[in-house]
Structure 1
Amino acid sequence: MTAIQDSGQFAHIVFQNAAEGIAITDPQGRILAVNGAFTALTGYPAGDVVGKTPAMLRSGRHGREFYARMWLALRDEGRWQGEIWNRRKSGEIYPEWLSISTVRNEAGEVLHYVGVFTDISHIMAEQEKLRDLAYHDPLTRLPNRMLLRDRFEQAARRSLRDARQLAVLMVEVTPQGKVPNDPFLVAASERLATHLRETDTFARYGENEFLVLIEGINGPRDASVTADQLLKALEKPLAVDGLDVYAAANIGISLYPMDGYSLDDLATAADAAMLQARIRDRRGFRFYSAEMTAFANERATIERQLRRAIADGALELHFQPQFEVSGSSVVGVEALVRWTDPELGVVEPERFVTIAEDNGLIHPLGEWVMRRAFTQFISWQAAGIAPPVLSLNISARQLERIDFVDSVAALVAETGISPQSLEFEFRESVLSDVAYVVPALEALDRMGIRLSIDGFGTGFSPLGNLKTLPISKLNIDRSFVSGIGSNQGNDTIVRTVLGVARTLGLRVIAEGVETEDQAVFLRNEGCDEFQGHLYGQAVCGEDFVRRFARTRT
């Protein structure tokens, strides 16, 4: 048997035994051959499809523009890959990951098209399960704080665009008498939901607190009408475990943008107003007023002092170790910015970073952090004590800036740090607008910088983005880690995140690991790395060297 015959036979064996479905067409797109996996995945035997075009598999979910872009990529680049929905012989519509390559002869003429695909239904089902668990309260099935935050950001943008106001209502509901709290809350939430519009967002916010977002209002009066309707809805008794139970309710109201720009600020204001309603009215509602907190003044003070701190270099970096799962060796270090102001004292990053993102200070702040962290890491490398990887958080606002990648490249050149030593973390919410992030992320990847999704499970990220973007690691959010062992739903979320990562070939680090029970659970479920107070908290550079540095060869 000749070498050509051997290779031909080998290729045929591979074709027939491949786990992926494979279809080969002529230049006109007519199917010439399919393998066994194609039949298993689609339900069509070879005799049903040979001589026909793959159009017979179309689900109807994609328009002409989708297929036009596909053929344009095949013509110009010789290949196309992506997520696509097709239809099995049974009529079932299913998602698949499809790669099509163009086969040409030496003259450049098209000989064949080869399509290779896998069924990704199970991955999408896991992702949908994760999304539902992560974004809804397990008791009431209402949106939780994570989904509420996403809804607020969208509503706030619409309010600014349309020059309308947005109201935030904090609703506290308590039973009159001793009854089980869980069934009471379910009954109360169902009653309140019937008195809200479909466009309103109604979420579980605390133990006995709900939060309502009301869009498109013209002023305080519209918010007060809704608050009054909710109070009247609870005047009639609720049916709880066969008993008639009366509820006491108090409502605090804040307005966007007058009372705050972030959900946290507005919720704090509404909570302060609700407390006033509880103290003064017992059953009623109150609007937030500036006298209740010093929010506006505090924000202006933080912005002014932060500008001065960046200009004067008055910030500092702390470093937190990242361990492999046995906890015996450091595999990375995350640089974290800290600020102690002479006037304000210790200012938490959650306060000043948000303000920096709003007013543009995030760009000089981010450059200061990178320059200082790069320089520190280089000095550790020179001493032979640097961990393998330096990790930094990158804001969505930084990625939006057109010269961000150039500024990173300039800092790499200035400090002499190796890009292969760097890992940039960004929040999952960044992926909601891939149009502007893809070029920046791909450019960073070409530089050799690793990319990871910080707080995975707290945002919406289409599966196609996770598969196509150059991501190497997922970070399980500390909110999920802290809940390990507290309820089955939370544990299921963590397991699902780890399952998605394994399917996509990504490493996973758990943030906020504080107890041995959490570490054991994560280790048993296949987590790769840990970060948290159990193994080491964030400390200044000198303390990091003293506590965690090891000589590396």
Structure 2
Amino acid sequence: MIDATMTEPPPPPPAPDDRGGVGGDAARLALLDGLFQALPVGLDLRDPHGVAVLRNPAAEAAAAAAPEDLRATREAVTIRGDAYLLTTTVDLAAQRKVEAELFRRAYYDELTGLPNRSHLQHAVEELMERGSGPFALAFVDVDGFKQINDYYGHAVGDAILVKLARRIAAELPAGSLVGRIGGDEFVLLLRETDDVLVAVEALLARLKAPLFAEGHEIFASASVGVSLYPEHGRDYETLRRNADIAMYRVKSGRKGAAALFDEDMRMVAQSRMETEQRLRLAIRDRRFLCAYQPKVDIYTHRTVGLEVLLRWRDEAGFIQPPGEFIGLAVELGMINDISRMVLDETVAALGDIDAAFGCGTSISVNVAAKQAGDIGFMTDFAADLRATGCPERFMVELTEEAFFAKSELQSTVLPLLRGIGTKVSIDDFGVGYSSLSALADLTADEVKIDRSFVTDIHRRPRSQSILKAIESLGQALDMTIIAEGLESFEELTYLTAATTIRHAQGYYFSRPLALDQFTSSRTISYGSSRAAAPARMGAEARTSRTRGR
């Protein structure tokens, strides 16, 4: 109970007693008074003569507020047999401010100030309930935004999102709505459906103009999928999902464009989802096997190394080449588990590899560019290589993308691998990010010339010039050159007669095979009789080129 005559500040609260609480009437009174003073609701207690007996700070503030901003309640109370009038006041202005802030957080994106997912869904459902006629939903995804974040940092990435949001909002026709639903994804609610793709493509053209953030000039683009109400769905989630499906179709082809949803897209998306689920089960059940393709000395026709290539034996027993599933595994973050399986199986097969090819044969394993930039994974992978007891026999093959991405590959990963004796190869060189000048800055042990430069090399003068340039620079930098995709006797003849390249890999020598398909002799060599191989399996070789190795 509060003493109404108290005018001095209460003393500091006493220390807790042995029971963890605060003992004594005076201590409890002090705590109660502290709560009274901190209440956000105004409390004003007056005696029957209207004299103020007790008033807390909230009541003092209410006395100075405008009457329309207050809600007051008065009631008679009896304390120790005496009658008093208690007035409670609530500051409606402060309450409205809190409510407005809660509403903003619930329905607007914190970074851009645009409507969020909940707001958009409510707006779409309201249009449907009112029967306002057809409208379009456009799903917008910024192309390569992760690379912008990784290269320039999240502060620049956030600034770019804010600028893109403003640019989109400025370009929308009247009556439209744009919201950010997460990450680099925006959704547009377009009331006009006539020539909707024309309007969206005009917006995309505007988005490609350069953006300036934190002193950087950055070029960005976006891919858009569009669905129409009621043709492509009669509820928000169906419309959003179908617009998302159309957007992913754009992403898989020509980025920076727009596409209108159709049922064929749904079938493709459903097939992709089924493949994803099957792939997850395959990882769980370890339904993968390794095939090995020799790297051959083209002068002695002896195997000098093996590349380990992954195959997926699906639930029906069919063998799926990596081109059918590796990209999906990388995208879904499942590639790390698969890479560890490949290394485990290869290590388990070392005895058979030695028996077939010799103990000095090097073994190449592929690592995706996304993995190469993951320091945690690469540290663990290097530890796994070290645990084999022969890390110096292994070579890690990385694509050009891994070398030219802004990551710790050059500063951390490559020294880590070299520290355990493992070598590094640049795979598919010449078709990605590389230039000859960039090659001079790389510190790889091996360069594998992409098959596109090797195919029919004997009758393609421009490819011959490129091949000679790569060969010369590789030699100057003390990197081994491997010609990939060698499939004909004529290609082999050109390499031996017109270049100093000593090593090659391809169907001319052997397609990727399981170890038990190779001869059990100590060392395998390939003689001139192999010249007939491309003729016997030319169709298979061409299929391999288009579907992955």
- Computing the radius of gyration from Cα coordinates, the structure with the larger value is 2
Question: TM-score, normalization: structure 2?
Answer: 0.50
